[in-house]
Amino acid sequence: MRYADMPTAEVEVLVHAPVERIWSLVTDVDLPARFSNEFQGAQWLDAGPGVGARFQGRNRHAAIGTWETTCVVTQCEVDRVFEWAVGDADNSAARWRFELESSGDGVLLRQWCQIGPGPSGLTPAILAMPDKEERIITRRLAEHRANMQVTVEGIKLIAETPS
């Protein structure tokens, strides 16, 4: 696995709630901070959600420290797809997406991410240790997958809890 291949990770969970309720949760850019041990929160810089709207995210990782990113919404199909690019939309450090798909007995909520193609926090480590590129990427994808899993499970819990 190479960075240039733009590796991905994906998780999903079945949610027993109206799609509109789930949509309102996945488009709340600050909500995943309640579940992730890396993502610390976000705020809209423009009126969102909508294609072209930007938000600023805050992150923390033991090996990297803290950092902020500016993200831009690249897909926004109400009740279906909410996607954003980290940094430059045409050469993003990463791309993240929530997808909602009706299922016979609920809504399948999927979260997906792609690393690259633009430079990211992994770039210095890969340049310093090119022989360990696959291991670096595999570990980072595992971290993303774990945080995404707790996020979709947290969204499921909120969506299924009567208000």
pLDDT at 114: 97
Per DSSP, the three-state class of 44 is strand
pLDDT for the residue 123 = 92
Nearest to 109 by CA among 16, 9, 7: 16
What is the distance between the alpha carbons of residues 13 and 95, in angstroms, rounded to a whole number?
Answer: 20
**Exposure string (b/e) for 7-44, b if CB count within 10 Å is 16 or more?**
bbbebebebebebeebbebbbbbebbbebbebbbebee
Tens-digit pLDDT profile for residues 17-28: 999 999 999 999
pLDDT of res. 61? 92
Angle at which helices 19-26 and 133-160 cross, to 10°:
130
Give the pLDDT of residue 147: 96
- Note if the pTM is more than 0.75: yes
- Tell me, what's the pLDDT at 63? 84
DSSP assignment of the chain, as one string?
Answer: --GGG--EEEEEEEE-S-HHHHHHHHT-TTGGGGT-SSEEEEEESSS-SSTT-EEEEEEEETTTEEEEEEEEEEEEETTTEEEEEES-TTS-SEEEEEEEEEETTEEEEEEEEEE-SS--THHHHHHH-GGGHHHHHHHHHHHHHHHHHHHHHHHHHHHHS--
Stretches where the chain sits below pLDDT 50 are none
Neighbours of 3 (CB within 10 A): 19
Question: What does the pLDDT read at residue 151?
Answer: 98
CATH class of 3-160: alpha beta
